[in-house]
Structure 1
Amino acid sequence: MTCDPLALPSSAADWPAWFRARTASELARATELVDALRSAPPADPVAVLRQWDRAAGHLGNAAAAGSLFGNVHPLDEVRDLADAAEQEAQRIGTAWGLDRELYDVFATIDDGAVAHDPLAARVLAKVRNDFRRSGVDKDEATRTRIAEIHERLTELDQEFSRVIRDDVRTVRVTPEQLAGMPDDWLAAHPVDAEGMVTVTTDYPDSVPVRMFARDQDVRRQVTVAFLDRGWPTTEPLLTELFALRHELATTVGYADWPSYDADVKMIGRSNPVAEEARNEPSRSIPAFIERIVAAAEEPMRRDLAQLLERYRRDFPDATEVPGYDYNHYAELVRAERYDVDSQRVRAYFDFAKVRTGLLEVTGRLFGLRYEQVDVPVWHEDVTSYDVFATQPVVEVRGAPAPSLETRIGRIHLDLHPREGKYKHAAQFTLTDGVAGEQLPEGVLVCNFSRGLMEHDHVVTLFHEFGHLLHHVLGGHGAWYRFAGVATEWDFVEAPSQMLEEWAWHADVLRTFATDAAGEPIPGDLVAAMRAADDYGKGIYARTQMFYAAMSYWFHADRVHGADAPDLTSRMVELQRRYAALPYLPGTHMFASFGHLGGYSSGYYTYMWSLVIAKDMWSAFDEADPFAPEVAQRYRDRVLVPGGAADAADLVADFLGRPFSFDAYAAWLDR
């Protein structure tokens, strides 16, 4: 049985009514299925679990639509409807988790009655754990308070995201102050009637200016504006968010929010990377941070020594490089020491060619074909593709494998900035996929230039597309619970980080990276780019650990009722302890650190996943990154199963051994 993609409205005027109808029907169906479970559950325990799973799938459809369109739709009315729908889906899900009568339906299932179906048994174990973590065993007053906390947390998270999304700051400068900027960037930023040029804090403006502008004051102004987005508005939102998370975690029996959050993560189990994880899983987070900090110490010192040596040619008395000068002088180090001029590199990465190349590379790698389709979408910038399998896919656990040339998903690429749109880069779900019931649809939301791209942005595009592939390839099992990227949350970045490797491979890049004359990027330039990219790894790792420590300690500081420190003071303290670069006085970077919303105390995830990604990449032959045997094994054993097994088991199945820290350590010290 094949499934059709979701049909979106064909005109802007139809969007509000369509969105109301879509979310109302999904929420109604979810409620109907759960009400029936309470009143007359099926006699077959597996059927009980399937009905619950389908209800969760319908609830997820409403929540996904709310999350996506609240971040990308150009109409304020639709964004407001989306926020409300996401809140309602969260409210319903919270109510389910606190419903003792509903819990009894699952508590009374005999484990032996589902033992013949391993995936059903896995669902049952996870559902029972969900109820335990929700606080279903608490008294009525406590459960009422838990519901209030969940509702407020959703509101705070949405408001935090909205403020960051809408707070675009600007710096006005003279044309002369933009010396050093690429010609195509200057052409896209004409002088206004007052003889000035406006630079925004959106990535296509702020990243190139901080890298290329020769005027230090311009770099400083743009950096300060970028770091101060959201402040002071988001500070009280975050303070309340952290306090409520702590209250929720302690109410349901955990020491603090990081313990609650880590309990269902990879890091919450014993493994080769965080052996400290035993009875107190959250303690393995600072232990992992310290392990990376120690491994990055010497590489960071080498990076900083090269950076300061170059900086002192212009500022002889300097003892450190300020943050607003880092990107510019790191670029000079790469250009002078490694002979890599980023403006020359940009000439090979025209956006349209990169997008086409991305599809060709991933299609060849994973046995896929993308067919562009002309369908209604929410904005004219969005391009949509149907995805087809051209190579056999192994049987998905619990469901038959898709046949060749069957449409296995639809993807939407929303890749350029606009007012009111999400400001970072992420993959959003439109629909989760279940075999025979619903086609997986995913959306890539980024903010790239329409012309030439920095290579870093090319890498980001490959990274985010890795999430999209995971969503589509993992969307053909038998359970919504395990669809797509439904693995432990600290693993979801690993497949996308590994796909970045193809954006660094000379033979891969030469298939689509060509200049205006059609000449492919030279192999020696790519080699120099890779050598230059090795510069700064230590600084990068330490910066990431500063972010990870901030996300952890902002939540962990509330243990034993202690008053949480002022967020700015705590951020400055943690930056001094962990980061490679100094604090820029007067700035409040945490105020726009969107990962404090979705990732909460778990920003360590990015580096944790990178450790695993480097280990998985070691299974590939760099001389032949498209070798079909290993690529198909990776696709079928890591991506296709979705969350049908623990991530550590999926990786071990692919590698033939448990994952380790060794490949990452070797890469960091290279």
Structure 2
Amino acid sequence: MAPEKLRKPPQAPPTFTATPKSLIDDTNRLIQSSRKVQDSLVTNITPESATFANVLVPLAQDENVMALESHILGFYQSVSSDQTLRDASTEAEKLMDDFSIESVMREDVYKLVDAVSKKNESLDPESRKLLEKEHKDYVRNGLGLPAGPKRDRFKEIKKRLSQISIEFQKNLNEENGGIWFTREELDGVPEDVLSGLKKGEGENEGKLRLSFKYPDLFPTLKFAKNAETRKQVMIANENKCNQNVPLFKEAIVLRDEAARLLGYPSHAAFRVEDKMAKTPETVNSFLGDLRSRLAAGGQKEREALKTLKQADLESHGEKFDGHYYLWDHRFYDRVMLEKHYQLDQQLIAEYFPLQTTIEGMLKIFEELFGLVFVEITGEDRNQLSPTGKGSDVTWHEDVQIFSVWDDEGEGSGFVGYLYLDLFPREGKYGHAANFNIQPGFIDTSGNRHFPATALVCNFSKPTLKKPSLLKHDEVVTLFHELGHGIHDLVSKTIYSRFHGTNTVRDFVEAPSQMLENWCWAPSQLKSLSKHYSAISPEYLKEWQEHNNGKSQPPEQIPDDVIENLIRTKHVNDALFNLRQLHFGIFDMTVHQPESHDAIEKLPVSATYNSLRKEISQLEGPEVLGQGDEWGHGEATFGHLIGGYDAGYYGYLSSQVYSADMFYTIFRSDPMNPKEGRRYRHMVLEKGGSQDEMKTLTDFLGREPKTDAFYKELGLA
């Protein structure tokens, strides 16, 4: 039991009691209140009397207060089980986006901000950054254009792009397709996956329905022995959301038009200007250099896998056609790990039951960063809930909630709330992500408002006989997303705009990517592990039934299994990174056309597929004569519509920073609490409140270097 004082946070958690009507009413109330603040500024202040204190501070405070509700209003569409609530949340987000566009295009407010900018007052660094960013936002949102047709067209484009983004993500969240297969067609897929699939009736009697949700999709591509099954699943998954195809095309055409209206040669030039890379040329040169360095390794890995495929087919008396397909890759990658590295992924998963793994991860963050996590359950939830009902402080019965505190060494203060929403359900966001529910900031009285953050994932659900078991790559994913959550929790900024993960896109992944290294450290893997048979007598009985007569496995993962796992860290790494390069280069290609005419004529799906074949070196149905339009992967690529446009390269470029930080500071002693706290205060705490290069340089004691990144990839 947590110490008594840790059980009563000084700030109640947010409540999730919205109805479809209240969502829209609350949205309209927030918009009216915010518009009132802006109207009041232009009524009472002139450019001559404008100062940071009387213009920027009220705007920032309004933004802070609005964020407390607006993040939640838009969050329901990703997590609610109620379709009408999701629809209302989508509508609320559209209203807020439209208002946001209206706000950043108010010339009367811009004139006041511009006047403050010219006065060059003495400000603290975070306030200075706020002023610069606010001023630049107005210019980048069309106020640098003369009033009239051009500016009106720009505003029209911004509104349409907002609608496209919301509709695109909604289509992905609501996607509920699947394929019916016989058990024979799914031969090789683990029984715990098959037992969770929907059973067919009528014409589908005796079949199982495989959805495109991760807990179904990935095990099938990894384990199904039937190549035709894997091919069907792979192609259907690429075509699961084809209503997004025209939306994607419209978005890239409109982005290009908007960038050219502002005088930029492309959307990429417009977007990258604000990031660490600064120019598309820097990005293209980084991606091109990495591609040429990885090419030979990718070819070598593919040839080895192809040889493995040939031997496998011939051992079953099947003919080899000389090709290595997209739907072969996850399967033979696994076969190689099992055959050459004795890596049994199912066995490893038995040591990582979801709940004990989470406990282990939280313990690591406690030791490293000086935190304490207290799960809030039962009566404590009722006492903490502003309504007195514990069910009101989460959006679904599966959700866990923790209050997070500093340990004694860090002052024992309250830090914020962490939510875990871990299992798939209909209408829910389909990947793994961290959502900020309420940001942290300093309020008008000088008091701190504490953040609330949520991990939204899709791991398989536990059953009475077996807990949810994580494959090692899922352990890495969970640690990565939890890393974003910790960034969100421990950040301390004056303004909500810079809170937590609100950094430039080509830095935001670095803190979480760095923490992934803990999932490859022997001592951490050991401490995270616990064989599921050791959790309860019921689980032990189940294990014994399936392993007749074998003695119970050791409670923690054996050293030789860890050793084998670590040996595989860079197996087929070149092919993995070439896949990431495909995404990054496709992103830059569609956002950097030679002319507007070129983007209008670009065959997007064919470009996506042909680039994938060229870069990732894996063959698709095009080699079977199905042309380059066989799939529409861009229509499932939420990142490029949801904020990573001309920014996907950030996943790769931020690895340069994450590798440098890990190798320089943590590699020799990952659990060094002194360095952990230094990292917490110098990197995570800063959020986006200062230039990210300054954050990095201050922490490393020098400018970042690429050496560790290329060394890690075996390309030094």
Per the TM superposition, whether the score is higher than 0.5 is yes
| Structure 1 partner of 2:154 | 146
* 1:457 maps to 2:457: no
1:17-53 CA distances to partner (integer Å, 9 max, x unpaired)? 5434543443333222222221224764234221111
* 1:335 maps to 2:338: yes
* 1:359 maps to 2:362: yes
Residue type at the aligned position of 1:577? E
| Structure 2 partner of 1:487 | 503
| Structure 1 partner of 2:603 | 566
CA contact (8 A) 2:352 2:532 kept: no
C-alpha spacing 1:59/1:153, structure 2 compared with 1 (3 Å) = farther
Q: Distance in 2 between matches of 1:530 and 1:344?
A: 15
| Aligned counterpart in structure 2 of residue 545 of structure 1, from 581, 584, 587 | 581
Q: Distance in 2 between matches of 1:48 and 1:63?
A: 22
| Aligned counterpart in structure 1 of residue 179 of structure 2, from 171, 174, 180 | 171
- 1:220-619 to structure 2, matched below 5 A, reads 220-231=231-242, 233-268=243-278, 281-315=279-313, 317-373=320-376, 374=381, 375=390, 376=392, 377-390=394-407, 404-435=411-442, 436-450=447-461, 451-474=468-491, 476-518=492-534, 519-557=555-593, 559-562=595-598, 563-585=600-622, 586-598=630-642, 599-619=644-664
Q: Distance in 1 between matches of 2:69 and 2:405?
A: 26
C-alpha spacing 1:555/1:102, structure 2 compared with 1 (3 Å) = same
| Aligned counterpart in structure 2 of residue 130 of structure 1, from 134, 137, 155 | 137
1:411-453 CA distances to partner (integer Å, 9 max, x unpaired)? 2111111101111111112111103253211111111112112
1:534-590 CA distances to partner (integer Å, 9 max, x unpaired)? 111100111111111111112222625324311122112312331231233422212
Which deviates the most, 34-43 or 196-205? 34-43
| Structure 2 partner of 1:398 | none
Q: Distance in 1 between matches of 2:62 and 2:123?
A: 23
| Aligned counterpart in structure 1 of residue 191 of structure 2, from 171, 183, 188 | 183
Q: Distance in 2 between matches of 1:655 and 1:468?
A: 23
* 1:639 maps to 2:684: yes
Residue type at the aligned position of 1:568? S
SS in 1 for 2:419: strand
| Structure 1 partner of 2:548 | none
C-alpha spacing 1:137/1:588, structure 2 compared with 1 (3 Å) = closer
SS in 2 for 1:602: coil
Q: Distance in 1 between matches of 2:185 and 2:87?
A: 40
| Structure 1 partner of 2:218 | 207
What TM-score comes out, normalization by structure 2 length? 0.86
C-alpha spacing 1:190/1:420, structure 2 compared with 1 (3 Å) = closer
SS in 1 for 2:505: coil
SS in 2 for 1:158: helix
1:278-303 CA distances to partner (integer Å, 9 max, x unpaired)? xxx12222212101112212332332
1:133-171 CA distances to partner (integer Å, 9 max, x unpaired)? 111132133222222111111111111111222223212
| Aligned counterpart in structure 1 of residue 31 of structure 2, from 27, 34, 42 | 27
CA contact (8 A) 1:26 1:61 kept: no
SS in 2 for 1:600: coil
C-alpha spacing 1:178/1:642, structure 2 compared with 1 (3 Å) = same
| Aligned counterpart in structure 1 of residue 107 of structure 2, from 100, 103, 108 | 100
Which deviates the most, 18-27 or 527-536? 18-27
Q: Distance in 1 between matches of 2:489 and 2:142?
A: 33
CA contact (8 A) 1:62 1:89 kept: no
CA contact (8 A) 1:463 1:500 kept: yes
Q: Distance in 1 between matches of 2:25 and 2:515?
A: 38
SS in 1 for 2:417: strand
Q: Distance in 2 between matches of 1:434 and 1:166?
A: 34
Gaps of 5+ in 2: 1-8, 315-319, 382-389, 462-467, 535-554, 623-629
1:246 CA drift (Å): 0.9
Residue type at the aligned position of 2:217? S
1:351 CA drift (Å): 1.4
1:301-352 CA distances to partner (integer Å, 9 max, x unpaired)? 3321321121110346443311111111000101111110111111111112
Q: Distance in 1 between matches of 2:610 and 2:324?
A: 18
Residue type at the aligned position of 1:367? G
Q: Distance in 1 between matches of 2:56 and 2:473?
A: 44
1:148-198 CA distances to partner (integer Å, 9 max, x unpaired)? 111111111111111222223212122233332223223323754411111
CA contact (8 A) 1:71 1:422 kept: yes
CA contact (8 A) 1:3 1:438 kept: no
Residue type at the aligned position of 1:347? E
RMSD across aligned C-alpha pairs, in angstroms?
Answer: 2.0
CA contact (8 A) 1:367 1:390 kept: yes
CA contact (8 A) 1:351 1:449 kept: no
| Structure 2 partner of 1:74 | 81
| Structure 2 partner of 1:195 | 206
CA contact (8 A) 1:157 1:597 kept: yes
Residue type at the aligned position of 2:291? V
CA contact (8 A) 1:23 1:61 kept: no
Say how many residue pairs are matched. Answer: 642
CA contact (8 A) 1:30 1:54 kept: no
SS in 2 for 1:109: helix
1:368 CA drift (Å): 0.8
| Structure 2 partner of 1:119 | 126
Q: Distance in 1 between matches of 2:213 and 2:510?
A: 27
CA contact (8 A) 1:45 1:113 kept: no
Gaps of 5+ in 1: 269-280, 394-403
C-alpha spacing 1:405/1:135, structure 2 compared with 1 (3 Å) = same
Residue type at the aligned position of 1:242? I
Which structure has the greater CA radius of gyration? Answer: 2
1:221 CA drift (Å): 1.7
Residue type at the aligned position of 1:346? A
SS in 2 for 1:380: coil
CA contact (8 A) 1:30 1:58 kept: no
Share of identical aligned residues, percent? 28
Q: Distance in 1 between matches of 2:615 and 2:659?
A: 23
| Aligned counterpart in structure 2 of residue 158 of structure 1, from 146, 166, 177 | 166
1:70-116 CA distances to partner (integer Å, 9 max, x unpaired)? 11111122212211221122122211221111111111126565324
| Structure 2 partner of 1:274 | none
Q: Distance in 2 between matches of 1:391 and 1:127?
A: 38
Q: Distance in 2 between matches of 1:82 and 1:49?
A: 29
Q: Distance in 2 between matches of 1:438 and 1:539?
A: 45
- 1:5-16 to structure 2, matched below 5 A, reads 5-9=12-16, 14-16=18-20
